[in-house]
Amino acid sequence: MKYTAYAIRQSTDRFVGLPPGAAKFAGPMAEAAAFVERKSLLDPKLWCVFVSQFKRGSEDNLDMGWRSEYWGKMMRGACITYEYDRNEALYAVMEETVRDLLDMQDEFGRITSYNLENEFRGWDVWGRKYVMLGLEYFLEICRDDILADRIVNSLRRQADYMIAKTGCGEAGKLDVTNTSEAWEGLNASSILEPVVRLYHVTGEARYLDYAAKIIRCGGTKSFNIFEAALADEKAPCEYPVTKAYEMMSCFEGILEFYRATGDGKYLQMVRNFAAKVIATDVTVIGSAGTTHELFDHSRINQFNPAFKGIMQETCVTVTWMKFCLQLLAITGDGAFADNIELSAYNALLGAVNFEENPFRGEVFAFDSYSPLLNSSRGLSVGGYKTLLRGLMHWGCCVAIGACGTGLFPRYAGMLSADKKAPVVNFYVPGEIGFALPDGDFSVRIETGYPYQGDVRIVTTSGRDNETPLLLRIPAWSRETVISVNEREADFTVENGYATLSEAWKEGDIIDVRFDMRVRVIRAAEIDPDASPESVCHAAIMRGPLVLARDSVLEDDVTSAVCFPPGVKFLIPREVKTGSLENGGKRLTVVLETEDGPLVLCDYASAGRDWGKSGPVTCWVRTKQVSAEKGQRPERPEDPAAAE
């Protein structure tokens, strides 16, 4: 690997990724990564179609579309997936399509689906952003130094063309926020991320200077989202432009700018932004947007029956996961890993189209939207565009999904930046190898998590000296027990991680038992001022999993049930694990209510027939509030106690 944008992370981040191929896993997320790889990433014809969008430089002129994003989105997901599984067939496909793409660069240095007459309109710059990102991600794994040189030269030419034509308040140049009519230029402003990554690769000051101009433009034409985040007065759903996925992409660029400059105000603005998104827009399934893909105070709208139709876009889910990964790496705060896990096992895993359900006659690897309240999967394909003059179609969510399914197993294990402390973020069955400065250290994880709460970690290599091992303790696990070689361990949790320090021997056994009590999260605890139609709902969770009602399991998922008043934890009558084979569920939980048994399944298993049997819901209608004619309980002093 001749070039990297990641070397700087040794000095800026708390956690860093493991070398490619350091882990091998089983379980549902590993199955999802393998399915997506097989279904999409390994198909050379598909890559040829994506490259062909750049052949004439005019594919998106007619409708000002975003076909130019597909190649880069898929390439980023393919690279992350390859870093996880080291599939040589995948590498060969990626290398071939990179070479094909580089041949599409025109005499001006552009790789775009817009001609010169229409450039800097619509989604042109957004597509260029993804072309650059796709090449930059491949650069991290490229084995051919000559090809790597060619990639970097192409990236320079692409960026230099942008610098010559755009900026911020400069005579003869377009402001970056004026290079798109969509979303006041928010989409175009997200080119910040690949520009700063190019600076990390080359060290050439003009790219950092250009990044500063992008930031100075403020993200949108009429409102500076970066200054607003630093001021920390408004939530993103209160900004004039609320397009969730594009906005998060801009703040990923801010994080790269922080890494480049070391200026703490940029990290602070991103942390403020993240905290506001969590407080106002992250739903129980780990996505955002009840008004399709907009920040819209989804946290309180998620249980409002007035919000119907498509929502919880997969693009938003995956970008949120990737955004949280960046903050996890920089801060070492396990709360961001909690958010990634919530998204992965609920919104993302539920969107993987294992059954290969067709949409308008075509089968895509991902569903684009996820229901929350009495609705179905498979309602639409996000970013749906015709390709090959109508012979096939593709969508934004289908293109981005591989990034999420690859990211979760890829970063289940990490290292502290000094490479002295192995970190376990996600408890996935399989093996992880940690390359430490004084020798390798490896573990085997045996578990049925997240469907069961017991995790066994067996050391498969020894250590001559005491080595700290960091284990994430999710915030929802109020009572966690850890033992080492059958002796209960004393531990404290700092930043969401328990640290166990020993001179580990091969065969040492660490047992972790998480608190898997079923939790009731009432709408009134989130929004006491909600309408009676909204507030009479509750979400049921077990571990990181949302439990859902599915029409496959019962006749009427909209009927109201009665839980004991004030109860926060429920003892299930039955808990059963299974698989998706023959329409099964990975987890089924039976709860006793005053109206009889309530049968629930894990959210990701619900609705997989795409509405053929009826709707699903993860917000259960309850009788308590409606019976009290809209009277709502007082807000608890500690909102976290609701979980």
Q: Is 266 left (phi over 0), alpha (psi -120 to 50) or beta?
A: alpha
Q: Distance (Å, rounded) from C-alpha 95 to C-alpha 105?
A: 16
Written as six digits, the tokens of 418 are 């000094």
Report phi then psi at 394, rounded to 5: -150, 175
The pLDDT value given to residue 627: 39
In this structure, what token pair is assigned to residue 206? 């003009």
Q: Give, in order, the Cα–Cα distances in Å from 193 to each of 83, 96, 258.
A: 21, 25, 11
Residue 483 is which amino acid? S
484 DSSP β-pair partners: 487, 510
Cα-Cα-Cα-Cα dihedral sign, residues 481, 482, 485, 491: negative
How far apart are alpha carbons 135 and 482 in whole angstroms?
A: 43
Which are the contacts of 572, defined by CB distance < 8 A and separation ≥ 6? 518, 542, 589, 590, 591
Cα–Cα distance for residue pair 322/157, rounded to 1 Å: 27
- Containing 590, the helix (H) or strand (E) segment is strand 587-593
- 592: exposed, middle or buried (Cβ count in 10 Å: 0-12, 13-18, 19+): middle
Q: Are 288 and 244 in contact (CB under 8 A)?
A: yes
Residue 351 to residue 354: CA distance in whole angstroms: 9
Query: Token pair for residue 490?
Result: 């004393």
Kindly state the tokens that stand for 260. Answer: 């480049």
Contact indicator for 616, 607 with CB cutoff of 8 Å: yes
Q: What is the dihedral of CA 33, 36, 41, 44, to 10 degrees?
A: 140
10-residue stretch averages of pLDDT, the chain, 643 residues long: 94 97 97 98 97 90 95 98 98 98 97 96 98 98 98 98 98 98 98 98 98 98 98 98 98 98 98 98 98 97 95 98 98 98 98 97 98 97 94 97 98 94 98 94 98 98 93 97 96 96 96 97 95 95 98 95 87 96 96 92 97 97 59 33 28
- Rounded to 10 degrees, what is the CA torsion of 300, 305, 307, 309? 140
105, 43 contact by CB (below 8 A): no
pLDDT in the model for residue 640: 31
Contact criterion met (CB below 8 Å) for 102 and 49: no
Pairing of strands 174-175, 166-167: parallel
The values of phi and psi at residue 309, to 5°, are 90, -160
The structure tokens listed for 313 are 């876009």
Tell me the C-alpha distance between 632 and 640, whole Å: 18
Q: How far apart are CA 591 and CA 161, in angstroms?
A: 61
**What is the C-alpha separation between 175 and 169, in angstroms, rounded?**
6
- pTM comes to 0.96
**pLDDT score for 624:** 67
Cα separation values, 532 from 560, 629, 633, Å: 13, 8, 12
Pairing of strands 545-550, 569-570: unpaired
Alpha carbons 522 and 24: distance in angstroms, whole number: 38
Count of all residues that appear for the chain in the document: 643
User: Which residues, in sequence order, are CB contacts of 139 under 8 Å at separation 6+?
Assistant: 3, 4, 5, 148, 151, 152, 201
Phi/psi of residue 344, nearest 5 degrees = -65, -50
Fill in the amino acid letter for 17. Answer: G
- Backbone φ, ψ for residue 570 (5° rounding): -120, 145
Q: What is the DSSP string of 602-637?
A: EGGGTTTTTTSS--EESSEEBSHHHHTTT--PPPPS
Q: Could you give the CA distance from residue 504 to residue 217 in angstroms, rounded to a whole number? A: 53
Distance CA 506, CA 441 (A): 9
Report residue 593 as tokens.
Answer: 């209510």
CA distance 321 to 248: 10
What pLDDT shows up at residue 565? 79
What DSSP letter does each residue of 387-412 carry, written as one string?
EGGGTEEE-HHHHHHHHHHHHHHHTS
Residues 6+ apart with CB under 8 A from 189: 176, 177, 214, 217, 219, 220, 246, 250, 253
Identify the bridge partners of residue 512 per DSSP, sorted by sequence position: 455, 482
The three-state (H, E, C) secondary structure of 512-576, written as one string:
EECCCCEEEEEHHHHCCCCCHHHHCEEEEEECCEEEEEECCCCCCCCCCECCCCCCCEECCCEEE
The amino acid occupying position 291 is T
Does residue 194 have a cis bond before it (omega within 30 degrees)? no
- What pLDDT score does 459 carry? 98
Question: How far from 123 is each of 69, 132, 190, 236, 620, CA to CA, in Å?
Answer: 9, 14, 11, 22, 40
